[in-house]
Structure 1
């Protein structure tokens, strides 16, 4: 199967953009440094990742230590 975006020369990424609670984002595609949302067809919140994310757990840990 061919990628339509590749065939038309559209600037895009095949990786998944993972957004974090602190506003940062990272891509699962090796070498992708442009984390602009429109370049990525797949965008997920880090909390949706299997096992969660450190940034999503950090506020919970801070609350546990405070209590």
Structure 2
């Protein structure tokens, strides 16, 4: 079975686009270099990653330090 976007010849990526709080964007698909949201069906913020993300942990520590 082939995905609809592949069958239609559309430029797309099968990976998940991850948007980090430190403005870094990455994709879970090895070799993906075009991080445009329109190419990715799946997009999530790093705080939605099960187990968390290094940049959200850094942000929490930084916010705690400023609140003290």
Q: TM-score, normalised by structure 2?
A: 0.87
Q: Residues 18-29 of structure 1 correspond to what in structure 2 (within 5 A)?
A: 18-29=18-29
Which stretches of structure 1, 4 residues or more, deviate above 6 A after TM superposition?
Answer: none
Q: How many residues align?
A: 67
> Shift of residue 51 of structure 1?
0.9
- Structure 2 counterpart of 1:7: 7
2:9, 2:3 → 1: CA distance?
10
Gaps of 5+ in 2: none
Gaps of 5+ in 1: none
